[in-house]
Structure 1
Amino acid sequence: MAIRPNNMKALMTSGKLVASFSVNRWRSVDAAEIAKATGFEWLFLDLEHSLLNEEIACQIAVTALAVGVTPVARVGTDQFYQAARLLDGGVYGIIFPHVDSASQAAACVKATKYPPLGARSLTGPLPQAEFGHGADPKIMARLNEETLTIVMVETLAALDAVESIAGVDGVDAVLIGTNDLAADMGIPGQLGDAKIGAAYNKVAAAVKKAGKFFGMGGVYSKDLMQRYIKTGVQFTLGGADIGFVMEGARARREMIAGLTGS
C-alpha cells in the first residue's frame, strides 16, 4: 500500500511558496475541496484559536488527503495527546505554539515522530497510509519523513533561542507567530516595525543554517507579506474561512449598492 504524499512538503522542497486555507469556523469537509478549487496547497486546521474539535478536524483532513491538499493542525500549548490523536486521524503535520526552548521543541518531536526519532505511539490503520497499519516499519519510516513537526516562535525568549530550537533533530519547520511576537515586544499590531523585520532576518538565518522550512503567520497585507517573504519564507498562512466569506460578501454588497434601476 502507498503512503499518500505530503504535497506541502514536496512543493516547499522544490522551491515553491505554499499558502494555507485556514479553517476556524467551518465544520464541513467542503473546506478541503474549496481549498483545492481555489489553489491553496495546505489546510491550517486551527484547534488553538477556535472551537473546532478533533473529530471534525480529522474528517476534513481525510478529505484533504484525498484531493491533494495537505492537512496541518495547530494544537494548544503542550497538547501532545491532542496532537497524537490528530495525526492518527489523518493530519499530516502539527503546529505547536509558544515553543520557547530547544527542550520544548524536543518534546514536540517526541510526540509526533515514531521511534527511533520520537516516541509516537503505534496504532492501527492510518489514512495517510491508505489505511495500512502504523506498526509496519516501512510505514513508520515513511511517515516520519512525511509528517511535519512545526514549532512557533512567538516570544522574545523563543527568538533568543531560535538557533537551538531550529537545530533540534526532528523539527521540520519554524513558523513565526507575528502578532504574538509583536505583542511580546511591546509593539502590538505594529507588524511593519523594524524590530519585526530584524526578527524575521534572525529566524531566517537560523532556519537556513539548520536546513529546515521557514513559515510566516499573522501577516496579511500585500506589502508586508512581500517584505517578509523575501527573507526566505517558504510557507505562509493565507487567510481564514470567515475572513474569505466576509471579504467576498462585503465586496458583493458594495457592488450591488452601486447599481441603479432603469
Structure 2
Amino acid sequence: MNMNQIKLKLKKGEPVIGTFVRMNSISMEILGRTGFDFAIIDVEHGVHTMADVSNMIRAAKSVGISPIVRVPGTNPVNAMRALDAGADGVQIPQLTNLEQIKEIAKATRYYPMGERGMCNYVAATGYSTIPFDEHMKTSNEEVLVTIHVENAWAAEHIEEILEIPGIDVVFCGPNDMSESLGVPGQMTHPKVVTLLDKVFHVCGEKGVATGIFVKRPELMPHWIEKGVQYLTCSTDVGIYADYAKMTADEMKRQLAENWKK
C-alpha cells in the first residue's frame, strides 16, 4: 500500500475535503478530477455490490482521489473485504458498544497490531505481485480507520473508545445524534451540541482527528472553528441534483425572457 496522503495530512494537522458517493465509477473519476481529496463509497445507504466497490476503488486510484468505504454495519468481514479490494480506509457506522469497536480495530490491521485475515491474491496486494510481508507492514501503517460517533452512547463513552488502539478519525453525525437523544432533526439542540462538544474536546486532547458531514460548504466554518479536519459535504447525487436544479431553472428563465412567440 502506498503512503496514504489523507492520513499524512491529518497527522500534520491539515484539513481534507471529501464527499459521499452513491452513484458509480464515473462519479469517482469526476470527483477526483475536480479537486476532492477523498470520496467515501457509501455501502451503508447506497446500493453498491462488492463488484461495484472494487470498480469504484480502481476508478478513484486512476485519478488520484483517496477511496474510503463506509461499510454497511459493524461486521468485521465487511471492513476486511473493503481493504482487500484496495480501499485506503474504512468508515464504520452503527457502533453501540466497545466490543464492536475492538473487533473492527483488530480486523483492519495485521499481526501484531490486529487479526486481519491474510490473503495474498487480492487487489490490495496487486494480486500477489507485492511481497506479502511488505504489504502487511505498509497496510498497518497506512490504512485509515474512521469510526462513527453518531449516538448518545458513543459520545458519552468517547474516553473509553479512544483507549482502543487503531482509531484514526472520529466522524460525528449530528443528525443521527439528534435522533438518539429524542430530538430528531434538531442538530443545534443543546443536548446535541453538548455531546458533540465533549467529543471534539476529548479527541483534541488525545490528538485524534475528527470529521463531520455538512449539507453545504457555507456551513463549514462552524466546524472548522472546532478543529474538525476531515470535512465532508453533501453526496455526489446531492451535488448533481443541486446543480441540475440550478441549471434547469436558469434554462427556463432564459426561455421565458428570450423565446420568440
Q: TM-score, normalising length from structure 2?
A: 0.90
CA distance in 2, matches of 1:172, 1:155: 19
Aligned-partner Cα distance in 2 for 1:14–1:68: 20
Instruction: Please tell me whether the aligned partners of residues 216 and 233 of structure 2 are also in contact (alpha carbons under 8 angstroms).
Output: no
Of 16, 19, 28, which residue of structure 2 is paired with 1:21? 19
Deviation at 1:205, TM superposition (A): 1.8
Change (3 A) 1:167 1:134: farther
Q: 1:51 to 1:214 in 2, by over 3 A?
A: same
Amino acid at match of 2:11: T
The alignment status of 1:220 with 2:215, answered yes or no, reads: yes
Equivalent residue letter for 2:19: F
What's the counterpart of residue 158 of structure 2? 162
Q: Secondary structure at the match of 1:167?
A: coil
Contact kept, 8 Å, 1:125 with 1:134, in 2: the verdict is no
Secondary structure of the 2:244 match is: helix
CA displacement 1:6-44 (0-9 Å, x = unmatched): 1221222233321223111x23x2222111122111111
Structure 2 gaps of 5+ residues are: none
Q: Deviations over 1:82-118 (max 9, x none)?
A: 2211111111111111223332211111111111111
Structure 1 unaligned residues grouped into runs of 5+: none
State the distance in 2 between where 1:46 and 1:166 align.
Answer: 24
- What is residue 246 of structure 1 aligned with on the other side? 241
CA 243–32 in structure 1, closer or farther in 2 if over 3 Å, else same? same
What is the CA–CA distance in structure 1 between the aligned matches of 2:111 and 2:176, rounded to whole Å? Answer: 33
| Corresponding residue of 2:231 | 236
Per-residue CA shift, 1:188-211, capped at 9, x if unaligned?
111222333222221112212332
Q: Which residue matches 1:67? A: 63
Match of 2:29 in 1: 33
* Structure 1 residue 185 corresponds to structure 2 residue 181: yes
Q: Following superposition of structure 1 onto structure 2, how do residues 91-170 of structure 1 map, counting pairs within 5 Å?
A: 91-128=87-124, 130-131=126-127, 136-170=132-166
For residues 172 and 215 of structure 1, do their structure 2 counterparts lie closer, same or farther at Cα, with a shift above 3 Å needed?
A: same
Distance 1:185 1:135, change over 3 A: farther
Q: Between Structure 1 and Structure 2, how many residues are aligned?
A: 257
Residues 1:229 and 1:197: Cα distance change in structure 2 (over 3 Å): farther
Distance 1:206 1:101, change over 3 A: farther
What fraction of aligned residue pairs are identical, expressed as a percent? 27
In the TM superposition, residue 72 of structure 1 has moved relative to its aligned partner by 0.7
Q: Which has the larger radius of gyration?
A: 2
**1:11 maps to which of 9, 12, 17:** 9
| Superposed counterparts of 1:77-88, under 5 Å | 77-88=73-84
Task: Give the CA RMSD over aligned residues.
Answer: 1.9
1:178 CA displacement: 1.6
CA pair 10-127 structure 1, distance change in 2 beyond 3 A = farther
- SS of the residue aligned with 1:258? helix
- Offset of 1:130 from its aligned partner? 4.8
What is the alpha-carbon distance in structure 2 between the residues aligned to residue 47 and residue 212 of structure 1? Answer: 25
Question: Cα distance, 1:125 vs. partner?
Answer: 4.4
